[in-house]
Structure 1
Amino acid sequence: MKHLTRSLFARTALTLALAFIVFQAAAFWVVTRTLIVPVAERSADDLAGLIVLSAQTWVELPPETRAAFERELARRHGLRLTTINVGATVDAPQFAFRKQIEAALSRRLGDAVALRGVPDKAAAWLDIPVGGHDLRVGFFPDRYAVKPPLAAIAVILLGTFLSLLTALFLVRRITVPLARASQAASQVGAGELPEPLPETGPAELAELARRFNVMAAEVRALLDNRTILLAGISHDLRTPMTRLQLNLEMLRDTPNSARIDRANSNGARIDRAMADLADMNRLITGYLELARTTQPEPKARFDLAGLLEEVAADSNLAWPGAAPCEVAAGRLAVRQIVSNLIQNAQRYGGGAPIELALECADKQARVIVRDAGSGIPEDQLEKVFRPFYRLEESRSQATGGAGLGLAIVRQLAETNGCKVTLRNRAGGGLEAVLEMPR
C-alpha cells in the first residue's frame, strides 16, 4: 500500500483529482451566485405572482365557475385553491430555494409568510386572506424546486473519475518509457548492452531515450576498452617478461669460470634485458595514458596558434605560423592530441614532409595534420581508433607500436568536447582533423 501511494500514478491522480475538486467547488460557487440564485429568485417571484393573481382571480369569479378554475390551476400549474381547512399544522418540508419563495410571497402579500405542511404530505400550504375569504393555496415543491447539491456531487464524481482516467493515460505514457529505461539501466549496470530505447513520444522523453542510448553505448565501449586493455597488458607484457626471465636464467646458469670469457655475451644479454624493461615501461606508460583519458581537463582560454608553434618546435616540424586563434578547451589535452597526430604522420608518412594547418572560424577551430603516406583503407578509418588495433597493411608493419596512439587521441578528444576524424587525401596520404568549439 505504501509503495502504491508513492507511485507516480497515485501521486499524479491525487493531484489531478484534488485540483479538479477545488476547481469544481470554485466553479459551482460562482455559478450558484451568478446564475442559480438569480434564476431561483426570479422563479420564486413568478410563482408568488401566480399564486397572488390566482387568488385574486378566484375571488372575482362567479361561485359556479370557481370549481372549474381550481381544476384548471391544478392541471396546468399544480396549484391548489380551497377554502377548506386542509390541516396544515406543521412546518412545510424543506426544499431548495424555500427561503426565496417565502421572501417573494412576503413581498407580494405585504406580510411575513411561512409555508406550512400537512403531516405525511409533500405539499406546501399558505393562507391568503382576500375578498373576505381565507383561501388556502398549496403547491408541490418538487414541481418547482431543483436539486443543485446532487447535481454538483454528480459533476464532481464524474470529474474525479475522468481525472483518474486522465492520470492513468498520462502516467502510463511517462512510466512505460521510464520503466524501460530502468530495466535498461540495470542491464548496463550488469555489464550488458541493452536494446536501444525507442526514441519516440514527447520531446523530453525522446531526448532522454536518445541520451540514454548514447550513454549505454559509451559505457559498453568503456567496458570493452577495459577488457581489451587488460588483455593487451597481459599479452604485450608477457613477451618481454619471458625474454627477460630467459636472459636472467642464462646469466644464473653460466659457470663462474666461464663468466670472464663470456663477458661480452653477458653484456649483450644485459642490454637486451634493459631493452625489454624499456619496452615494458613504454607499454605501461601507454596504458596509463589511455586510462587517464576518461577524465576531462578543466577548460581554459589559450591561443591555439601559439600552442601549435610549440608542438611543431618539439616535433622538429616546419610551421609557417598562423594568426592568433583563441579557444576554450583543455590545453594539455589538445597538445597531446596534436602531438600524437604529428607522431603518427611522421611514423607512417613515408619520410615525406608533414603539413600542419590551422583553420579558425567564428564558432569552431580546426587543426589539420597531413602526410603523404600510403593512407588507410576506407573500411578501416574508424577501426584504427580501437585500442590495440593494428593495420594489416604496410603502415603497421613499419612499427612495433602497441596500437594505443589513435585510441588515446580519440578518447582524449571525446572526453574534452572535441572531435577527431581521419580521411584519405585525393593525391595520396592521410589527413587527420581535430575540431573544437571556440
Structure 2
Amino acid sequence: MQPTAGLSETGPHKRTLRQQTLRAMLVLVLLLELAFAGVALLFVLMPMAQRSADDLAGLMVLSAQTWAELPPQTRPAFQQELHNRYRLSLLPDMQPPADNGMTHGLYIGFVEQSLQQRTGHAVYFRQQTDAQGHIWLWTSIPAGGRDIGVGFDTGRIQTQPIRALLIGLALTLPLSFLLALWWARRISRPLVSMEQAAAGLARGDTPQRLSQSGPREIANLAAHFNQMAERIDALLQARTTLLVGVSHDLRSPLARIRLALELQRMAPTPERLDQIERDVLAMDRLIGEVLALARGLRAQAAEDLVLKPWLQERLQMHDEWATSRGATLGVQCPDDLHAWVDDAALQRVVDNFLTNAVHYAAGPITLQAGPGSSPGRVRIAVLDRGPGVPADQLDAVFAPFTRLDSARTPGHGSGLGLAIARQLAQQHGWEVGLQQRDGGGLIAWVEAPVSPIHLV
C-alpha cells in the first residue's frame, strides 16, 4: 500500500521544530545585522568618512597654498611641522600623477572627489613606500603658479568601517547561533514533551500530565491536553467499571433464569415463568441503561423553559407512585423563573432525583427552584427527609454501579441513574451534586443557566 501524502510528511526527512526555529532565527538575526550594518554605513559611517575626507583634502590644498606664499627661508620649518603633526609632506614642482588604474577604498575615493572639486580638474594618486615601510599617497596641487606635490601617510587613516563591519558579523554570528539554539530548545521542549505524551496516548498508554509552564499559548495548550488526558483517563476507568458492573449485574438474573428453567422442566409453574420474565426485563433495562451511558446522550438545542409549570408537570408524573409509597410531593418556585436548557435532558436528571427520593424517603418531598450559586444560574433541587447519604460518599455515588451498603437501601436499581445524570450535566455545561440536609435527609440539585432573555 502506498503511503498517503499526509503520512509522508511526518517522515524523517521533515525538519523538526527545533531545526526550523534555529534556521529561521539565524536567518532573521543575519538579516537584522546586515540591515543594521547597512543603515550604519549609509547614515553614519559614510557621512563621517566624507566629512573626514573633505577635511583632509582641505588641509592638503591649504598646505600647498601656504607653502607657496611663505618666504623661502621658512618653508623647510613649515614642511617639518606638517610632517610631524599631520603626517603630510610637500614636494615642489611635482608632475601631476596620471591615471594608472589604481583602485582605492571609499575613503581615498572621497578624498579624490573633494580635491577635484577644489582644484577644478581630475586628481589621481600614486603610491610610494618610504624608508620606514610606510605607504604614502601623492598627488599634485596647483598653487602659486606651480604644481606642488602633497602626500600623506596612509597610516593616519585609522578607521576601517568595512573591516569593522565584517569583524562585527564574524563575532556576533556565533553568539547569535548560541542564542538561537537556546531559544529553539526553549520553544520546542514543551512541544516535544507534548508530542511524546500524544504518541504514548496513541499507543494506549496511560495519559501523561504536562507541565503548564512557559508562554501563555504553550501553557494553555498543555492545560487543554491535560484536560483531554483526564477525560480519557476517566473514560478508561469508567469503561472498566462499566464492564465489571455489567458482568456482575447480569450474572445474578442469569443464574436465577438457569435455575428456574431447570425447575420448570421438572415441575412447571406459572410463578417461575413470571420470575423468568421479570429477570429478562431487568436484564433488558440494565442493558438499555448501559448502552445509554456508554454511547452518551446527544445534547439537544437549549430553549427557554418556564420552570414552575414544568416542575408541576414533573410532580404530577410521579404523584400517584409517591402516594402509594407514603410520600407527598410539593413545588416551591417563583412564577417568573426561567431556565435555558435542553428540556429532555433536564427532565431525565430531575426524574432520577425524584425517583430516588420517592424510593428511599416517605413523607414530604419538595421540588424546589431558585437562584443558583452564581449570577446567571438557576438551581433545581429535590429535598427529602430520608436516611440521607454519608458525607464521605456524596460524590462517590455518581460513579457507575455504585450502591451504598448503609443509609440508602442496597440493591435498588442498576446504580447507573446518577452516573447518567452527571454525564448529562457535563454534556450541557450544568452542575449536579448532593448535600446533606439540616435536620436529616438529602438535597439532590442541578444548576443550569438562566434564560438569556430574562437576564437582568
TM-score range, shorter chain: 0.7 to 0.9
In the alignment, is residue 215 of structure 1 matched against residue 220 of structure 2? no
User: What corresponds to 2:316 in structure 1?
Assistant: 313
Distance (Å, rounded) in 2 between the aligned partners of 1:93 and 1:357 = 99
Q: Is the 8 A contact 1:188 1:219 kept in 2?
A: no
Name stretches of at least 5 consecutive residues in structure 1 with no aligned partner: 255-261
Q: After superposition, what is the alpha-carbon deviation per residue over 1:113-160, rounded to whole angstroms, capped at 9, x for unaligned? A: 222334998432211232344321112345337433333334445554
AA aligned to 1:39 is M
1:356 counterpart letter in structure 2:
L
Report 1:343-362 matches (<5 A).
Answer: 343-349=355-361, 351-360=362-371, 362=375
Select which of 292, 302, 310 maps to 1:289.
292
Partner of 1:431: 443
- Once the two structures are overlaid, the 10-residue window that deviates more, 407-416 or 298-307, is 298-307
Deviations 1:344-366 (A, max 9, x none): 122222x1221111124651121
SS at match of 1:302: strand
Would you say the 8 A contact 1:74–1:80 is kept in 2? yes
- The residue aligned with 1:257 is none
For 1:380, the aligned partner's letter is Q
Amino acid at match of 2:109: K
What is the TM-score with the length of structure 1 in the denominator?
Answer: 0.87
- 1:424 deviates by 0.5
Does residue 412 of structure 2 align to residue 393 of structure 1? no
State the distance in 2 between where 1:381 and 1:364 align. Answer: 22
Identity %: 38
Query: What residue is the counterpart of 2:281 in the other structure?
Result: 278
In the aligned structure 2, how far is the partner of 1:304 from the partner of 1:141?
97
1:9 matched to which residue of 2? 18
What's the CA shift string for 1:250-303, capped at 9, x where partnerless? 333x3xxxxxxx5xx52121111111111111211221221233x541332221
Amino acid at match of 2:419: A
Q: Quick one: distance in 2 between partners of 1:223 and 1:249?
A: 39
Q: Aligned residue for 2:335?
A: 323
Q: 1:117 to 1:297 in 2, by over 3 A?
A: same
Which secondary structure state, in structure 2, belongs to the residue aligned with residue 123 of structure 1?
strand
Q: SS in structure 1 opposite 2:378?
A: strand
Task: Write out aligned runs for 1:228-267 (5 A).
Answer: 228-252=241-265, 254=266, 265-267=268-270
Q: Secondary structure at the match of 1:139?
A: strand
SS at match of 2:269: helix
The 3 A distance-change label for structure 1 pair 347 and 185 is farther
Aligned to 2:326: none
Tell me what 1:60 maps to.
69
Are residue 113 (structure 1) and residue 123 (structure 2) matched?
yes
C-alpha deviation, 1:223, in angstroms: 0.7
Contact 2:212 2:223 in 1 (8 A): yes
Asked if 1 retains the 8 angstrom alpha-carbon contact of 2:303 and 2:340, the reply is: yes
| Structure 1: distance between partners of 2:176 and 2:363 | 75
SS in 2 for 1:336: helix
Is residue 96–residue 146 contact of structure 1 (8 Å, CA) maintained in 2?
no
The Cα of 1:326 is off from its aligned counterpart by 3.9
8 Å Cα contact 2:138-2:151 kept in structure 1: yes
Q: Match of 1:23?
A: 32
CA-atom RMSD, angstroms? 2.8
Local SS of the residue matching 2:408: helix
Q: Hey, what's the Cα distance between the residues in 1 that align with 2:333 and 2:71?
A: 125
Distance 2:365 2:212 in 1: 44
1:366 aligns with 2:385: no
Does the 8 A contact of 1:366 with 1:433 survive in 2?
yes
Q: SS of the counterpart of 1:135?
A: strand
Which amino acid in 1 is paired with 2:344?
A: L
CA contact (8 A) 1:387 1:407 kept: yes
Normalised by the length of structure 2, the TM-score is 0.84
Judge conservation of contact 1:193–1:217 (CA < 8 Å) in 2.
Answer: no
- Structure 2: unaligned runs, 5 residues or longer: 1-10, 320-328, 451-456
- Would you say how many aligned residue pairs link Structure 1 and Structure 2? 424
1:405 matches 2:417: yes
